[in-house]
Amino acid sequence: GKEQQGRRMDEEQSGDSTETSQTLDNQVNEDIDDYKKKLQMPDAIMEHDVFETLVEFISLGGSTPEAIGHLSHNYQGYSQMCNLTSKWLRMTGIPATNTRNIVEEHVKNLVLQKFDSVKADVIIADSLPEWVPSLIEYPKWRQMIYTLSKTHKGCELLNFIIQLISDAGHQSEISSLSSASIYFSVFNRVLTESLSSVLKAGKDDVGQAIEEFMAT
């Protein structure tokens, strides 16, 4: 009796161990497939997290040649095409500043159309993207952030960027944004800036200054 009972316990433990192992294998295979899909995206090599994707894919059992194959086979070179098109436009006599404005306006419209606040918040979950500081230095991209924030008021990435914009001294630009009040420090700077404008305004401008202050 004891011998049979012991044998039964061993079989049950063995079965549990096998089931756990299969579950882990299935999870690893699912993870590999997820990383493989990311590597198979058009121009995946241009993605900001491509290095991390490569490391995870290979560490889980994916082969290096396979990873390189996915990146090379799905390379489209869209950014290089844009650069080449810009060069052609300049060769026709269009000033470089005009060409840049055309490209920037198109990129801005694409961002406004396709912005996904859920995916954006995933980006900031780990750390601040390296491109954010340079983004907020440029007035056109700051205006794009303001436009996005009016539609995606709960987006953590946008709200954090607005905090950085305020820290950089652009309070007057964000005085009309409802999202500015989310952070007390931002709201405080905006309020101070608006009050200062009212106090400094001349007789001819005080009415407009007060209206802008009331809108803050």
What single string gives the DSSP state of each residue in 116-155?
-HHHHHHHHHHS--TTHHHHTTSHHHHHHHHHHHHH-TT-
Closest C-alpha among 52, 68, 71 to residue 60: 52
- Over residues 156-208, the pLDDT tens digits come to 888 888 888 888 887 777 766 655 555 444 445 555 665 666 556 656 665 56
Q: Which tens digit of pLDDT belongs to each residue from 9-61?
A: 555 555 555 666 677 667 878 888 999 999 999 999 988 789 999 999 999 88
Digit-coded pLDDT (tens) for 57-104: 999 888 899 999 999 999 998 888 888 888 898 899 989 889 889 889
Report the distance separating Cα 157 and Cα 121, nearest Å.
5
Which of 107, 145, 132 minimizes the C-alpha distance to 48?
A: 132
Q: At what angle do helices 50-59 and 2-39 cross, to 10 degrees?
A: 150
Query: In the prediction, which pLDDT does 206 show?
Result: 53
pLDDT tens track for 114-149? 999 998 888 777 677 788 889 999 999 999 998 998
